[in-house]
Structures are given as structure tokens and as C-alpha cells.
Amino acid sequence: MTAVPADTGSTGLRILQRPKATTGLWSWVTTTDHKKIGMMYFIATMFFFVVAGVEALLLRVQLAVPENDFLSPELYNQLYTMHGITMVFFVGIPLGATFFNYIMPLQIGARDVAFPRLNAFSFWVFCAAGIFMYSGIVLGGLPDGGWFNYAPLSTTVGPDVSGYTTGGGSGELAYQVHSGRMLLYSVGLQIAGIATLASAVNFIVTILNMRAPGMTLMRMPVFTWMTLIVAFLLLFALPVIGIALWQLMFEVRFGANFFNPAAGGDPILWEHMFWLFGHPEVYILVLPAFGIISEIIPTFSRKPIFGYTAMVFAGVAIGFLGWGVWAHHMFAAGMGPVANTAFGLTTMFIAVPTGVKIFNWVGTLWGGKVRLTSAMLFAIGAVAMFTIGGLSGVTHSVVPSNYQQTDSYYVVAHFHYVLFGGLVFGAIGGIYYWYPKVTGRLMNETWGKINFWTLLIGFNVTFGLMHFLGLWGMPRRIDTYYAGFGWEQLNLIITYGAFLIAASIALLLLNVVVSLRRGKLAGDDPWDARTVEWMTTSPPAHYNFAEIPQISARDELWHRKHAVSDSGDYVRVPAGGSGAIVVREVEDSDIHMPDPSVFPAMSAVGLPIMGWALFTSGNLMIVMLAVGSVITVGSLFAWAFEPSAEEGH
């Protein structure tokens, strides 16, 4: 290791010089700053949130009245499929990544994540996956087999055996259209999986290695703990779906027979592999929100989180148990009574650690001084709504009763209470909570409260009533229904509810944009918060902390703001007192930060090109595969040999 080749950057390989832009578009493309990447994740996620939301509204318009012809079945199937895929893979997962990226390094007192360029790579690959997935709009249609994409509908058969949508007759053409859509699904999600897997590794290494001195694992904020658990879940879950997607790709494009019963395959194999990923995925989506809630509630109750240790280990327990429950998605698939019993019982008992979390949040509120800011309202709302989702989850674990509920609107209600009620409410709380840290300004609280109450009402009208529809026999994934089953009124009301949700989300986004300029200046610590990220400036300098804080307690900032009086009570330390925080200004050049790089973004460009190659054949396919792999592999090499911007670092 002594003979490092000297300074290749400034002589031979000019192309490898680091970009220097600090403002403008180029600075965003080349950034390796976890905060900028976090903001880009936020923007991309909100974009996809709006897209998937509009898809949902179209579905609701179609279902507002029986036998509606607003959407054709073909379009309906694409929209409901893309609503699910987009919300799960392009909103849920990156919403977690948004908060992990921006907040987690600040919370542990780090200057950046462990692998800043890998972090940028994750973001750009995620964008590439989104573009690839939606390129179906111009490539013959979007995936239409549902986000669960069960074989053999997704493989050898296809939803449109008649060739109806391709003008009838030609089965060959229909199959080509079908296989194209399934390639978008399998390759698009594989690309997204690369992004997420890289993030997971990055977050794990960051949390394990880059905590500020004194921050032991059991002093980490609960949010950071949940980040760690989610990263591990991703690390183990993504390879499973990766293999399944690979098999699907081979089945569709190259005629493999993993899931084809006529050739010795089995459709149930796909179900198992999909849900072995798909259920941990639920916890991947919701645990970040649990982390966010666990930050907001203590701050606005002015109390530490109740039962920190139980909170952390409940999260870990959910992470573990989450691996043993996947087949509860398949109770009606005919696994037999023994398997159904086993998975029913594990599913029931995952309610125990989840209940612990809920009670501990209530315990945190109890005896505190509760300030009902918008962030707090959303956090409490998330606890209340998630409780409903958790309870309907327990009803699912009762297997014989589940035979009635599964694949009905009752399930749609259930998982929206978990994912909208838990994840979306929690994440919106997180937006209100950390917005001042990110932008230096507060969001409008009045709008925030309107946002909360309209969303709470719209949400419950929409998804609450779906419980009834499901129990009254309305199946999921139907593009229309007939009058006379007692479903008409509820469906109409639900559609109104969906539009109320849309209005409320529009208000949220407006608030985010308008407050950028009009919001009140926040200062470093507007909420009188408890954790380390509030110890630096708002917005933080690109190096995060002028001086890495020494951590001596959980809720480090709170302890710095308070001292123990003679009588044993906590008293507030006057501003400027001995324990107070001094945000020291430093010259930028004093702190070396990772240099920007263009190669993470560039390496992402090749991936969709290789994906699109599968739509072609012959020489064109070879050329596209070659171009894509040269771009990606070449960029990775350039990345590996890229020198620092400055000598001596």
C-alpha cells in the first residue's frame, strides 16, 4: 500500500477530474452530499406520490358507479397495477430513504454516510428504475398483472388470451405486448432493487461505524434504530425478490418454465417467493414511520420515549418475526391446515411487539406537556390509525375468517390503514417536523392543521368504508361491479373521500412549496427538541457539524439544555450557560467533505438501456446490451479510479 500511483487526475486522465459546481443543476447531478441526495429523494418521491395518487383517483372514478365505462378493463388493470407498484417501490421505499438520508447522519453526529458516491448511485439508479418502469407508456403499455403479478397470468398465459386489446386474433402480438409489460415489471424492479440494496449496505455501515463518539447503540435515537432494522430487512428481502424477478424475466423472455405447471413448474412457487419478500416489505415500509413517530412524540410531549429498550427490541422483534409470516397472504391458496395454522399463529404473535410500540407511544404522551403542532397531530394520528390497521391484521390471522377476507376490499382497507394510516401519516408528520431543519423555515401551522383534519376525515371515509365493502363480498382488483349487491352507495362515498384525500395532499405540497420562501425563520432548534440533529444550524452546513459532538446521553440535546438541581429535579440551563450549545462557524475549507462525482449518475444511465435491449432482438439487442454495459461498467471503473479534487486528501 505504500506505492500509490501519484496524482493521475491532473496529468493523464483529465476526464476523471472531479466536478466543481456548487450551485445549479450540475451540482445536484454530481452531488454526494447526503442532504442534497435526501432532498432529491424527497422531490422524486413526491412526484411518484402524485402520479400514483392520480392513478388511484382514476380507479375511484371508475368504481364510483356500477358498470362504469370510464376506464376500459385493460387500462384499469394497468392503473391499479402501477398504483401498487409505484406506491410500494417508488413512494414507500424511497420515502424511507428520504428520511434516512437526510436525518440519520445528522442524528448520529456524522458528516455524511459511509459511501457518499454509492449513495448518489442509489438515487440515480432509483430514478432510472422509475423511468424504465413508466417507459411502458410509449412501449405498448404498463404492467397489468397486479403488483403481486401471480404466475401463470404473468408468464405463459397473460390477462388477454383473446388478443382483445391488440385488435383481436393475433395471439402472437398479444403475447408480445404481454411479455413487454412483464419485462418492464421484472427488469424495472430489479433495477430499483439495485438502488435499494446499495442504500441498505450504505446505511448499515454508516450506523455501525460513523456514530459520534459516545453514541453507543443503546443511545441511538429510535429513528436511527429503525433505519438500521429496515436496512437489514432490505438486505435480506431484496435478494429473494431479485431471484423471483430473474426467474420471471427468463420465463417471459426466454421461455423458462419455473412457474409453468405443464412443464413441471408450479405457480405456488412464485407466490411463496413473492411474499417471502413481500411481507418483510410491509415492515420495510412502516418501520421508518415508527421511527419518525418515536422522534416526534417525545419532542412534543417534552418527555423521553417511554420504554426505549422495549421500543428498540420490539422493532427488532418485528423485523425477525416479519420473516415467518409471509404465507398469511396465501391462506386461500390451499397450503393445507398445518401450514395455515403455523402461519396464522406467527401472524397473531407479531401483534405483541406491535402492541408494545403503540402502548409505549401512549406512555410517552402520558404525563407530558403535549403540544399539538401539525407534526404532533400527524404522529398521533398515525398511532391511532395504525392501531386500526393492526387490529384488522389480527382478524386476518384468524385463518378461517381470513378465507372470507382475503382478496376482498377488507384487505384493501386493512393495508391502507397500515401503509397510509401508518406510513403516510407518520411521514407527513416527519415532513412538518424536520422541514425547518432542512430549509431553515417553518411550515404554515394553520394549513398544517387543516391538512391533518381533512386528511384524517378523507382517509377514514375512503378506507374505513372499504372494510364493509369487503365483508359484504366485493372482491379486489375488479374493474367494475354490478348493482344489487349493496355496494353502490359505499363506492360512491369512497370516491368522494378519495378526492378529499387528494385535496388535502395538494394543500400539503402547496405548504411545502410556499413555506420555502414565506415560512417563518426557524432557528436551529424550533421545537425544543431532544436529539443531535437539532444541535447544528438550520439548514445544516454541508459538513453538518463544525465540531462532532461528544455524546454522553440518550436525548443528548435535551441533557445539554437541562441540569439537575439540588432537589434532584431537572432545570433548564439558561441560554449561554455552561452546557449550552455553541454553533461554531468554520471556514468551509477547514473540513474536508467527499467530492462531487458524475459517475454515480452516469453508471445509472446504462441500466435501463440494458433493460430496453430485452424488448429487441438480434443485432440491435446485442448493440444495446453492449452500450448499456459499457456505460455502467465503464462509469464504475472511472468511479473507482477517480482522484480527489484536491491534492493531499
Partner 1 sequence: MRAARRRWSAWTIVLGVPIAGCGVQELPQSALNPAGPVAQSQDQLWDLVFWIAVVVFVIVQALILIAVFRFRDKGGDEIPKQVAGNTRLELLWTIIPALILVGIAVPTVRTIFELAEDPGEEALDVRVVGKQYWWAFEYLGDEGQGVITANELHIPTDRPVALNMQSLSATQPDPGFDQEPQVGQPVSNGVIHSFWVPRLAGKQDVVPGHTRPLTIQADEPGTYPGQCAEFCGLSHARMRFEVIAHEPDEFEAWLASQTEPAEPATDALAAEGQELFESQTCINCHAIDGYESAAGGAAAEVRIGPNLTHFASRNKFAGGIFDVDDPEQLAAWLRNPQEVKPGSQMPNLGLSDEQIDALSAYLYTLE
DSSP 475-499: BSS-S---TTSS-HHHHHHHHHHHH
* CA–CA distance, 151 with 468 (Å, rounded to integer): 30
Question: Minimum CB separation from partner 1 for residue 563, in Å?
Answer: 11
H or E element in which residue 570 lies: strand 570-572
State the Cα torsion 513-518-521-526 to the nearest 10°.
Answer: -50
What is the nearest approach in angstroms of partner 1 to the Cβ of residue 278? Answer: 15
Q: Which is nearer to partner 1, 23 or 489 (CB)?
A: 489
Distance CA 214, CA 224 (A): 15
The alpha carbon of residue 176 and the mean position of all alpha carbons in its chain are separated, in whole angstroms, by: 32
| For partner 1, the closer CB: 110 or 490 | 490
**Of 92 and 267, which CB lies nearer to partner 1 in the complex structure?**
267
Which value, to the nearest 10 degrees, does the dihedral of the CA atoms of residues 214, 216, 219, 220 take? Answer: 110
Between 344 and 606, name the residue whose CB sits nearer to partner 1. Answer: 344
Q: Between 123 and 343, name the residue whose CB sits nearer to partner 1.
A: 343
**Residues contacting residue 588 through CB under 8 Å, at least 6 positions apart:** 541, 542, 543
Nearest to 51 by CA among 133, 119, 122: 133
Q: Which residues contact 493 (CB under 8 A, 6 or more apart)?
A: 461, 465
CB of 15 to partner 1, least distance (A): 50
Residue with Cβ nearer partner 1 (208 or 345): 345
Q: Which helix (H) or strand (E) holds 562?
A: strand 562-564
Q: Could you tell me the smallest distance in angstroms from the CB atom of residue 497 to partner 1?
A: 12
Residues 435-461: b if buried by 16+ CB within 10 A, e if exposed: bbbbbbbbbbbebbebbbebbbebbeb
Degrees (nearest 5) of the Cα angle 51, 290, 127? Answer: 30
Rank residues 204 and 379 by Cβ distance to partner 1 and give the closer one.
379
Q: For partner 1, which is the closer residue by CB, 117 or 560?
A: 560
Q: Alpha carbon of 69 to those of 167, 298, 339, 499, 560: distances in Å?
A: 19, 50, 42, 19, 63
- Residue nearer to partner 1 on the CB measure, 21 or 571: 571
Nearer Cβ to partner 1 (464/634):
464
Output the smallest distance, CB 413 to partner 1, in A.
Answer: 12
From 117, 39, 8, select the one nearest 603 (Cα to Cα). 117
Does residue 549 have a cis peptide bond before it, meaning omega lies within 30 degrees of 0?
A: no
If the CB atoms of residues 3 and 338 are measured against partner 1, the closer one turns out to be: 338
Indicate the residue among 239 and 367 with the shorter CB distance to partner 1.
367
- Give 269 or 509: the residue with its C-beta nearer to partner 1: 269
Find the shortest distance in angstroms from Cβ 315 to partner 1: 14
Distance CA 619, CA 632 (A): 20
DSSP conformational letter for 408: B
Residue (145 or 188) nearer to partner 1, CB: 145
Cβ neighbours for 99, distance < 8 A, ≥ 6 positions apart: 38, 223, 288, 291, 292, 427, 430, 434
- Rounded to a whole number of angstroms, the minimum distance from the CB of residue 340 to partner 1 is 5
In one letter, which amino acid is 377?
A: L
Q: Which amino acid is at 518?
A: R
Q: In the complex, what is the shortest distance from the CB of residue 371 to partner 1, in angstroms, rounded to a whole number?
A: 5
CA nearest neighbour of 37 among 110, 138, 125: 125
Say which residues have a Cβ less than 8 Å from residue 323's Cβ, sequence separation at least 6.
Answer: 236, 276, 279, 280
User: Is the Cβ–Cβ distance between 55 and 21 less than 8 Å?
Assistant: no
Integer-rounded Cα Rg, in Å, for the chain is 25
CB 483 → partner 1: shortest distance, Å? 11
Q: Output the CA angle 114-217-376, nearest 5 degrees.
A: 90
